[in-house]
Structure 1
Amino acid sequence: MNKHWRPTAPIATLEIRASMLRAAREYFTATRALEVDTPTLSSAAVTDVHLASVAATALGRQTFLQTSPEYAMKRLLAAGCGDIWQICKVYRDGESGRSHNPEFTMIEWYRLGMDHHALMSDVERLIGAMLPPSRAFDRSERLTYREAVQLHAGIDPFDDPLAVLIARLESAEIEVPRDVKSDRDACLDLIMGILVGPQLGHDRLTFIYDYPASQAALAQIRGPVASRFEAYMDGLELCNGFHELANAAEQRARFERDLAERVKRGLPPMPIDERFLAALDHGLPECSGVALGFDRLVMCATGAKHIDAVLAFPFDRA
């Protein structure tokens, strides 16, 4: 008998998911943020070389399932919505494993007049409200990106030459692909993903902030660092937040650099979201925003070792 009709998450875990989502809605209501609902299908896609969009066809046109609601939510911010948030499904091709499912649940929100440090405190309060009492933690730990890499990998991510980064990976018996050996940020991503990230957040929530400016994505840059943070618990990256870039010309330049890098890597080109850039040109208010991987937080809440254990129907049973 085919038993793949059954959910992979126990019913008790699905009840915990529901209670955590209820706590999130109560938190945002109490903090006076507007719940919004933006399209899952878009005519544009992300240019980021680290993300793969899922293509779809609608009304005879090529469209893409969202990897994040970020661009649409920023259009609402530019239109004057104030603090906003949403719970939504997002899609990323090629992502499958212990902590990845191609379709997953994201909580994304934006606060006006906050920098990334203030938003970290907001993230800490939300996560504290969502987790069950058994996972209550003391005040979070905060480390700069440099401090975290120095502490857990023993190298300086800003000053050490590329050869030192490669040697550190190889000393840990990590095979470094040939194309990565010529890419400093790719080496740093491996170091963070394999040597540093798994060591973070085991006794309390840990924030890593002030990433290298070359890894700014959609964050503001301050000299050598980007106003960006990530939060970790149980060695899992839970969220990625920015003090948001509001300069349309700079954002377009970053998109174009992404597209040039895609050509170098043999990746397909992606259409730039011109409506998003038009919203930035109109004027994005001073704000910070963050995207939280909800399924991973449920893993932390329940002690699950695989994301399938917190999903009703993961990709293989969808």
Structure 2
Amino acid sequence: PEFTMLEWYRQGADYCELMQETGELIDRVAGLTGEWQRISYVDEFNNTFGFIPKDDFETRRGLLSCFHDFKVYPGPEDEPIHEKIDRLFQTIIWPNIKRSGKFMLCEFPIPCASLSKVSADGRYAERFEAFVGELELCNGFTELVDPNEQRRRFMLEAEERRLAGKEVFPIDEELLSRLASVASPTYGNALGVDRLVMLRARAQDIDTVHLFPPSERYS
């Protein structure tokens, strides 16, 4: 199915300002009240497993120990490190976090940075996801505008896909050529409109609020 997404960007502001703006938008549309909690991914991970994951040998060794100690399936040996980190998080930490009402899950591990900027102290990626219970509403971050670092990430992703036997896509040279002209900081966000409407309508099934429900998509 095709879902409706709302994307917006702003120069001169980072993801902290974006979290505030996003929370206010969701509250206004969905009629929510109360404070948004901010839950640090890396802090929760560190409190549970004893280290903040990086993209290095020590992290890989630590992850293997955690899979063993917490009796979690480690996944294929050639699985990207960000998927291993997320498996541990989703299996052990997430069941408690999802009970937190409405919250911003922020400060992602650097291997899970996607296209986001790394914090000045190198502890985390400036990325967040907004949740109301288990319902994820958006994915936003301070944009990475360093073309050299972005090229490195593209190359790393390509190698991960090659090792996993997946299709490898060419590097987006046009994007890299334009990054140098983007001011820092700049934030970007992608918010699921269907999910926001679902929250507003207190609906349990996204197809009941979808702009293109199954009966219309396949008629």
Smaller-chain TM-score range? 0.7 to 0.9
Q: RMSD over aligned Cα, in angstroms?
A: 2.6
Unaligned runs of 5+ in 2: 54-58
TM-aligned CA deviation for residue 312 of structure 1: 4.3
More deviation, 202-211/233-242: 202-211
Which residue number corresponds to residue 56 of structure 2? none
* 1:237 is aligned to 2:136: yes
TM-aligned CA deviation for residue 290 of structure 1: 1.1
Which residue number corresponds to residue 155 of structure 1? 49
* 1:259 is aligned to 2:194: no
Residues 24-49 of structure 1: per-residue CA shift (max 9 Å, x gap): xxxxxxxxxxxxxxxxxxxxxxxxxx
Q: Cα gap change, 1:317/1:271 in structure 2, threshold over 3 Å: closer, same or farther? A: farther
* 1:217 is aligned to 2:118: no
Which residue number corresponds to residue 17 of structure 2? 118
Which residue number corresponds to residue 75 of structure 1? none
- In the alignment, the residues of structure 2 paired with residue 306 and residue 188 of structure 1 have an alpha-carbon distance, to the nearest angstrom, of 29
Which residue number corresponds to residue 48 of structure 1? none
Q: Cα gap change, 1:197/1:301 in structure 2, threshold over 3 Å: closer, same or farther? A: farther
Contact persistence 2:43–2:52 (CA under 8 A): no
Q: Map 1:81-96; keep pairs closer than 5 Å.
A: none
Q: Cα gap change, 1:195/1:312 in structure 2, threshold over 3 Å: closer, same or farther? A: farther
Which residue number corresponds to residue 27 of structure 2? 128
SS of structure 2 residue aligned to 1:114: coil
**How many residue pairs get matched?**
207
More RCO (CA 8 Å, sep 6+): 2
* 1:273 is aligned to 2:172: yes
- In the alignment, the residues of structure 1 paired with residue 70 and residue 4 of structure 2 have an alpha-carbon distance, to the nearest angstrom, of 32
Which residue number corresponds to residue 191 of structure 1? 88
TM-aligned CA deviation for residue 296 of structure 1: 2.1
Unaligned runs of 5+ in 1: 1-101
Residues 202-222 of structure 1: per-residue CA shift (max 9 Å, x gap): 564201211111111111113
- In the alignment, the residues of structure 1 paired with residue 160 and residue 150 of structure 2 have an alpha-carbon distance, to the nearest angstrom, of 15
Which residue number corresponds to residue 195 of structure 2? 296
SS of structure 2 residue aligned to 1:104: coil
* 1:178 is aligned to 2:76: yes
TM-score (normalizing by structure 2): 0.81
TM-aligned CA deviation for residue 266 of structure 1: 0.5
* 1:285 is aligned to 2:183: yes
Which of 200, 206, 214 aligns to 2:103? It is 206
Which of 39, 44, 56 aligns to 1:143? It is 39
Q: Cα gap change, 1:148/1:317 in structure 2, threshold over 3 Å: closer, same or farther? A: farther
TM-score (normalizing by structure 1): 0.58
Contact persistence 1:211–1:227 (CA under 8 A): yes
Which residue number corresponds to residue 167 of structure 1? 68
Residues 66-87 of structure 1: per-residue CA shift (max 9 Å, x gap): xxxxxxxxxxxxxxxxxxxxxx
